[in-house]
Structure 1
Amino acid sequence: MHALVFDDVVKRFPDARRNAVDHVSLSIAEGEFVTLVGTSGCGKTTLLKMVNRLYEPDGGRVRLFGEDISTKDAVRLRHGIGYVIQQAGLFPHMTVFENIAVVPRILKWDAARIKKRVEELLTLVRLDPAEFQKRHPSALSGGQQQRVGLARAMAAEPAVMLLDEPFGAIDAINRASLQNELLQIHQKHRRTYLFVTHDVGEAFKLGNRVLIMHQGTVQQFDTPDAIVHKPANDFVRELIASSGAVSAQTHGGDGD
C-alpha cells in the first residue's frame, strides 16, 4: 500500500520567480525510509511540509493512505504525523517527560498509558528514563535534545514520520551514532520515514530510496545503488561526485 502519493503537486511562494515545487508526482510505499536531498532551495523541505499541511499546495494533491489530506482537519492530521526539526524544538519550560507526553495528552490518553509510553521511548532512544525524564531541555546536550525530539515525534505511534535535517546541528560523532540508532528504530517498527538532508552521504546511508531534487523538480528517485551506478543526468552525476564514499555508505534496504 502507498503511504504517500504526490499527484502533480505545485507550490509557488509570493514574488518567487519559479515554483518551489514544480509538478512533482511520486509514490512512497508504506514502511519505506525515503531521504530527500539536493541543493539549498531545491524544494525538499517545502515538499516535506506539504505532508503535514504546514504549506498548502497551489496545485495537485497529496494523499495519505489513499485520503486527500486537504479534506482532513489540519490539526488532527498533524497529531497523526511525527515531525522532527533540526533544533529539536522542545518546550523549554517543560520536562523531558512533559515534552514527550504533549500529543498523547492532547489525544486524552490515560496517565498510566502515557507513563508507559514515555518510558518505552526514552529507552528506545537510549536515554535512561529514571535519569532524564525530570530534566529540562537546558540540562541536555544537543544530541540528547535531538533524541528527546525524536521520542516526542514517535509518542502517538504515527504511521508517518517527517524529519527535517534533524541531525544538521549535531557534531560528527554523535551524528553517526544517531543515524545508526534511527536506522535500527526504523527496521524495528517499519513506519514510513521522510528525511530531509543537505548531506548526500547521510541521504545514501539512511534511505532505502533517495529523492534527488533541483529547482523544484525530481531529478531521480531510486535506490542508492541504482543512483550511484546509473545517475539519471549530469546534475545527479555531479552531486554524487561532490560527495566522497557515497557508494560505500549505501543502505541495505530493498527499495521496494
Structure 2
Amino acid sequence: MTQKAIEISNVTKKFKQAEYNAVDNVNLTIDEGEFITILGSSGSGKTTLLKIINKLYEPNEGTIKLFGEDIAHVDSVQLRRSIGYVIQQIGLFPHMTIAENVATAPKLLKWNKKAIHERVDDLLNLVGLNPSDFKDRYPSELSGGQQQRIGLARALAVDPKIMLMDEPLGAVDAITRLHLQDELLRIHGGLQKTFLLVTHDINEAFKLGNRIVIMNEGKVCQFDTPKNIVANPADEFVSSLIESSRNQGKFWEGLG
C-alpha cells in the first residue's frame, strides 16, 4: 500500500498587514514517490506553501504531516536537515570546493570521512558531473547549469525522503533548462523520492509532474494529472493557462 508522504489540511497563512491570505485553506495529499509540480503566477502562494512545509513559515491555521507526523511537534532544524531543499539562487558557499559544498549536511551530522567521500562521489555521478573533474573546483569555476546540479546533489546528500524545489531552473538558459528537466526526471525515477517543484512555467509543470497543483491567489484551483487538467479545467484561470500555452505552440507552428 502506498504511504502518504505529505498531508496538508486546511492550511492558511496571512502575513501581517496583508489584505489577503498568502495561502488560503489549502488541502493536499501527496503519496510517497510522486513528482508534484506546483504551478501559478507570481503571488499565487506556491513558494509560501513550500516554505510552510519546510517550517520556514508557520501557518496561521491548519496542519501538515510528513509520513504521518505533525511537523508542529518536530524541531525546525531537525526537520530541515531531513528534507532536501533547492532554490533558484542555489546558495553554494563560494569559499568551499564543490566536494565541501555537497558534504555540508553530512559533516553537520558527523558522518565519518570515508562515508562522506563516497557519498560526494556517488552524488556527483548521479547529477552527471565527473567527481575527479569537479570536486576540487570552486563554484565560480562552474556554469549556472553545473552549479544547479551541485545544489541538487547537496540537497540529496543525507538521502531525504522529500525534496522541495523552488524555481530551481529559473535562472538557467532555455537549452540548459530542458536538459536539467530531463535530469530531474531521470534522478526521480531512479530514487523514487517524493519531489515537490514550484514553477511558473506551464510547460515545465506539465512535463515534470505526474500530478500538478495549480494555485491562484492563495487557493488551489485544481490538483490532478496533466491529462485530466487539460481535458477538464476546473475554472477560468486554469483554462486561461492552458490556452496561453496552446497559443505559444501556434506561434511556433506559424514560424515553421
Q: C-alpha deviations, 1:122-142, integer Å up to 9, x for none?
A: 011111100100111011100
- The one-letter amino acid of 2:154's match is R
How big is the shift at 1:245? 8.2
Alignment of 1:71-86 (within 5 A): 71-86=73-88
Corresponding residue for residue 165 of structure 1:
167
The answer to which structure has the higher helix fraction is 2
Corresponding residue for residue 33 of structure 1:
35
Q: C-alpha deviations, 1:11-41, integer Å up to 9, x for none?
A: 0011100100001011000000000011110
Alignment of 1:17-56 (within 5 A): 17-56=19-58
How big is the shift at 1:246? 9.4
**Distance change in 2, residues 1:92/1:65 (3 Å):** same
Partner-residue secondary structure (3-state), 2:245:
coil
Aligned mates of 1:155, 1:135 — CA distance in 2: 18
- Number of equivalenced pairs: 247
- The one-letter amino acid of 1:177's match is H
Match of residue 154, structure 2, among 152, 156, 159: 152
Aligned mates of 1:226, 1:97 — CA distance in 2: 43
**TM-score (normalised: structure 1):** 0.95
Report runs of 4+ in structure 1 exceeding 6 Å deviation: none
Please say if residues 200 and 246 of structure 1, whose CA atoms lie closer than 8 Å, have aligned partners that are also in contact.
no
How big is the shift at 1:209? 0.2
Q: C-alpha deviations, 1:196-240, integer Å up to 9, x for none?
A: 001000000000000000000000000000001111111100011
Q: C-alpha deviations, 1:138-190, integer Å up to 9, x for none?
A: 11100000000000000000000000000001101100000001100000111
Q: 5+ residue gaps in structure 2?
A: 250-256
**Distance change in 2, residues 1:116/1:245 (3 Å):** farther
Q: C-alpha deviations, 1:79-128, integer Å up to 9, x for none?
A: 00000000211011111000000001111111111100100000111111
Please say if residues 211 and 220 of structure 1, whose CA atoms lie closer than 8 Å, have aligned partners that are also in contact.
yes
Aligned mates of 1:2, 1:31 — CA distance in 2: 9
Corresponding residue for residue 90 of structure 1:
92
Please say if residues 201 and 245 of structure 1, whose CA atoms lie closer than 8 Å, have aligned partners that are also in contact.
no
Partner-residue secondary structure (3-state), 1:109:
coil
